[in-house]
Amino acid sequence: MLVHRTSIADDDAPVALQLLREQTGRMLYPVHRIDRPSSGVLLFAHSAECTQRLQQVLASEASHKIYTALVRGWMPETIDSVRDVKNDKGALRTAETRFALLKQIELPMATDRYATARFSIVEAELLTGRWHQIRQHLAQLRHYIINDRVHGDGKQNRLFAQQLGINHMFLHATRLSFTHPYTRQSLRIEAPFPEHWESFF
Protein backbone atom coordinates (compact mmCIF):
# COMPACT_ATOMS: atom_id res chain seq x y z
CA MET A 1 0.00 0.00 0.00
CA LEU A 2 1.24 3.48 -0.82
CA VAL A 3 1.41 6.03 1.99
CA HIS A 4 0.05 8.79 -0.26
CA ARG A 5 -1.09 8.92 -3.88
CA THR A 6 1.62 9.30 -6.51
CA SER A 7 1.94 8.95 -10.26
CA ILE A 8 2.89 5.25 -9.89
CA ALA A 9 -0.41 4.39 -8.21
CA ASP A 10 -3.47 3.01 -9.95
CA ASP A 11 -6.47 5.25 -9.42
CA ASP A 12 -8.28 2.53 -7.47
CA ALA A 13 -5.23 1.38 -5.43
CA PRO A 14 -5.65 1.79 -1.65
CA VAL A 15 -3.67 4.66 -0.12
CA ALA A 16 -2.95 4.78 3.64
CA LEU A 17 -3.37 8.54 3.97
CA GLN A 18 -6.79 8.56 2.30
CA LEU A 19 -8.02 5.53 4.25
CA LEU A 20 -7.01 7.11 7.56
CA ARG A 21 -8.62 10.43 6.66
CA GLU A 22 -11.87 8.57 5.98
CA GLN A 23 -11.60 6.56 9.23
CA THR A 24 -10.84 9.54 11.47
CA GLY A 25 -12.89 12.18 9.64
CA ARG A 26 -9.95 14.57 9.97
CA MET A 27 -7.29 16.08 7.77
CA LEU A 28 -3.99 14.21 8.19
CA TYR A 29 -0.45 14.88 7.05
CA PRO A 30 2.27 12.21 6.61
CA VAL A 31 5.28 12.65 8.91
CA HIS A 32 7.09 9.29 8.83
CA ARG A 33 6.67 7.36 5.59
CA ILE A 34 8.06 4.02 4.41
CA ASP A 35 8.64 2.51 0.98
CA ARG A 36 5.69 0.72 -0.58
CA PRO A 37 7.10 -2.84 -0.17
CA SER A 38 8.23 -2.18 3.43
CA SER A 39 6.12 -2.67 6.53
CA GLY A 40 5.98 -0.99 9.91
CA VAL A 41 5.37 2.30 11.68
CA LEU A 42 3.74 5.22 9.89
CA LEU A 43 3.27 8.56 11.62
CA PHE A 44 0.69 11.21 10.71
CA ALA A 45 -0.14 14.61 12.21
CA HIS A 46 -3.42 16.51 12.41
CA SER A 47 -2.06 19.88 11.22
CA ALA A 48 0.58 21.32 8.93
CA GLU A 49 2.19 23.09 11.89
CA CYS A 50 2.43 19.86 13.92
CA THR A 51 3.82 18.06 10.86
CA GLN A 52 6.63 20.61 10.61
CA ARG A 53 7.40 20.39 14.32
CA LEU A 54 7.44 16.57 14.26
CA GLN A 55 9.69 16.49 11.21
CA GLN A 56 12.16 18.71 13.04
CA VAL A 57 12.04 16.40 16.06
CA LEU A 58 12.55 13.27 13.94
CA ALA A 59 15.52 14.91 12.18
CA SER A 60 17.27 15.57 15.52
CA GLU A 61 19.75 13.27 17.25
CA ALA A 62 17.30 12.88 20.15
CA SER A 63 14.96 10.73 18.04
CA HIS A 64 15.52 7.13 16.99
CA LYS A 65 14.19 5.46 13.83
CA ILE A 66 14.78 1.71 14.07
CA TYR A 67 14.24 -0.82 11.28
CA THR A 68 14.71 -4.59 11.13
CA ALA A 69 15.93 -6.36 8.00
CA LEU A 70 16.61 -9.92 6.90
CA VAL A 71 19.72 -9.91 4.70
CA ARG A 72 21.93 -12.27 2.73
CA GLY A 73 25.05 -13.62 4.48
CA TRP A 74 26.42 -13.26 7.97
CA MET A 75 26.98 -9.64 8.91
CA PRO A 76 29.48 -8.53 11.56
CA GLU A 77 28.13 -7.43 14.92
CA THR A 78 28.14 -3.69 14.17
CA ILE A 79 28.71 -1.53 11.10
CA ASP A 80 28.44 2.24 10.81
CA SER A 81 27.85 2.84 7.12
CA VAL A 82 28.56 6.38 5.91
CA ARG A 83 28.29 6.25 2.14
CA ASP A 84 26.75 8.21 -0.66
CA VAL A 85 23.38 7.00 -1.88
CA LYS A 86 21.34 8.13 -4.87
CA ASN A 87 18.17 10.10 -4.41
CA ASP A 88 15.07 9.48 -6.53
CA LYS A 89 16.52 11.81 -9.19
CA GLY A 90 19.87 9.99 -9.34
CA ALA A 91 21.93 12.63 -7.49
CA LEU A 92 24.38 11.45 -4.82
CA ARG A 93 23.78 12.38 -1.17
CA THR A 94 25.81 11.40 1.89
CA ALA A 95 23.86 9.12 4.22
CA GLU A 96 24.58 7.40 7.53
CA THR A 97 23.07 4.18 8.90
CA ARG A 98 24.10 2.24 12.00
CA PHE A 99 23.67 -1.55 11.74
CA ALA A 100 23.69 -4.04 14.63
CA LEU A 101 23.50 -7.81 14.24
CA LEU A 102 20.53 -9.42 16.00
CA LYS A 103 20.86 -13.02 14.81
CA GLN A 104 22.71 -15.22 12.32
CA ILE A 105 20.77 -18.00 10.61
CA GLU A 106 21.85 -20.98 8.50
CA LEU A 107 19.17 -22.90 6.62
CA PRO A 108 19.38 -26.22 4.73
CA MET A 109 18.56 -24.56 1.40
CA ALA A 110 21.02 -25.10 -1.45
CA THR A 111 22.19 -21.92 -3.20
CA ASP A 112 24.59 -22.01 -6.15
CA ARG A 113 27.56 -24.13 -5.04
CA TYR A 114 26.64 -24.02 -1.33
CA ALA A 115 24.64 -26.72 0.48
CA THR A 116 23.21 -24.21 2.95
CA ALA A 117 22.10 -20.58 2.92
CA ARG A 118 23.24 -18.00 5.46
CA PHE A 119 21.23 -14.99 6.55
CA SER A 120 21.35 -12.29 9.20
CA ILE A 121 18.62 -10.40 10.99
CA VAL A 122 19.93 -6.89 11.57
CA GLU A 123 18.74 -3.74 13.24
CA ALA A 124 19.24 -0.54 11.28
CA GLU A 125 19.09 2.93 12.80
CA LEU A 126 18.66 5.80 10.37
CA LEU A 127 20.96 8.69 11.27
CA THR A 128 20.00 10.54 8.09
CA GLY A 129 16.86 10.20 6.00
CA ARG A 130 17.59 9.54 2.34
CA TRP A 131 15.63 7.77 -0.40
CA HIS A 132 15.95 3.95 -0.04
CA GLN A 133 18.86 4.62 2.34
CA ILE A 134 18.89 1.31 4.24
CA ARG A 135 18.28 -0.66 1.06
CA GLN A 136 21.12 1.09 -0.78
CA HIS A 137 23.58 0.80 2.11
CA LEU A 138 22.95 -2.93 2.55
CA ALA A 139 23.33 -3.46 -1.21
CA GLN A 140 26.66 -1.59 -1.09
CA LEU A 141 27.75 -3.92 1.74
CA ARG A 142 26.58 -6.90 -0.39
CA HIS A 143 24.18 -7.94 2.40
CA TYR A 144 21.11 -7.57 0.22
CA ILE A 145 17.67 -7.35 1.82
CA ILE A 146 15.64 -10.44 1.00
CA ASN A 147 12.96 -9.77 -1.65
CA ASP A 148 14.19 -6.26 -2.40
CA ARG A 149 13.44 -6.17 -6.11
CA VAL A 150 15.21 -2.86 -6.74
CA HIS A 151 18.46 -3.18 -4.76
CA GLY A 152 18.43 -6.89 -3.88
CA ASP A 153 19.81 -10.22 -5.12
CA GLY A 154 17.60 -12.01 -7.67
CA LYS A 155 18.94 -15.47 -6.74
CA GLN A 156 18.05 -15.03 -3.07
CA ASN A 157 14.66 -13.59 -3.96
CA ARG A 158 13.87 -16.61 -6.17
CA LEU A 159 15.04 -18.94 -3.40
CA PHE A 160 12.51 -17.45 -0.98
CA ALA A 161 9.73 -17.47 -3.56
CA GLN A 162 10.31 -21.04 -4.74
CA GLN A 163 11.29 -22.81 -1.53
CA LEU A 164 9.43 -20.81 1.12
CA GLY A 165 6.61 -19.24 -0.89
CA ILE A 166 7.47 -15.75 0.43
CA ASN A 167 7.57 -12.78 -1.95
CA HIS A 168 7.32 -9.79 0.43
CA MET A 169 10.35 -7.65 1.25
CA PHE A 170 12.00 -8.15 4.65
CA LEU A 171 12.39 -4.54 5.75
CA HIS A 172 10.28 -3.46 8.71
CA ALA A 173 10.06 -0.04 10.39
CA THR A 174 10.07 -1.45 13.90
CA ARG A 175 10.17 1.54 16.23
CA LEU A 176 10.08 5.33 16.45
CA SER A 177 11.23 7.03 19.67
CA PHE A 178 11.00 10.79 20.14
CA THR A 179 9.77 13.57 22.40
CA HIS A 180 6.36 14.98 21.53
CA PRO A 181 6.89 18.61 20.40
CA TYR A 182 3.91 19.95 22.40
CA THR A 183 3.45 17.77 25.49
CA ARG A 184 7.20 16.95 25.87
CA GLN A 185 6.15 13.35 26.57
CA SER A 186 8.60 10.62 25.55
CA LEU A 187 6.93 8.44 22.94
CA ARG A 188 7.89 4.98 21.70
CA ILE A 189 5.76 3.74 18.81
CA GLU A 190 6.19 0.14 17.67
CA ALA A 191 4.68 -1.97 14.90
CA PRO A 192 4.32 -5.76 15.13
CA PHE A 193 5.96 -7.88 12.46
CA PRO A 194 3.66 -8.73 9.53
CA GLU A 195 2.61 -12.20 8.43
CA HIS A 196 5.58 -13.00 6.17
CA TRP A 197 8.02 -12.27 8.99
CA GLU A 198 6.02 -14.46 11.40
CA SER A 199 5.92 -17.21 8.78
CA PHE A 200 9.71 -17.08 8.37
CA PHE A 201 10.30 -17.08 12.15
Give CA–CA dist 144/122, Å, rounded.
Answer: 11
Give CA–CA dist 59/51, Å, rounded.
Answer: 12
Q: Which active-site residues does the annotation give?
A: 35
Give CA–CA dist 175/192, Å, rounded.
Answer: 9
Other Cβ atoms within 10 Å of 83 Cβ, number? 14
Distant-in-sequence, close-in-space partners of 114: CB < 8 Å, separation ≥ 6: none
Give CA–CA dist 119/101, Å, rounded.
Answer: 11
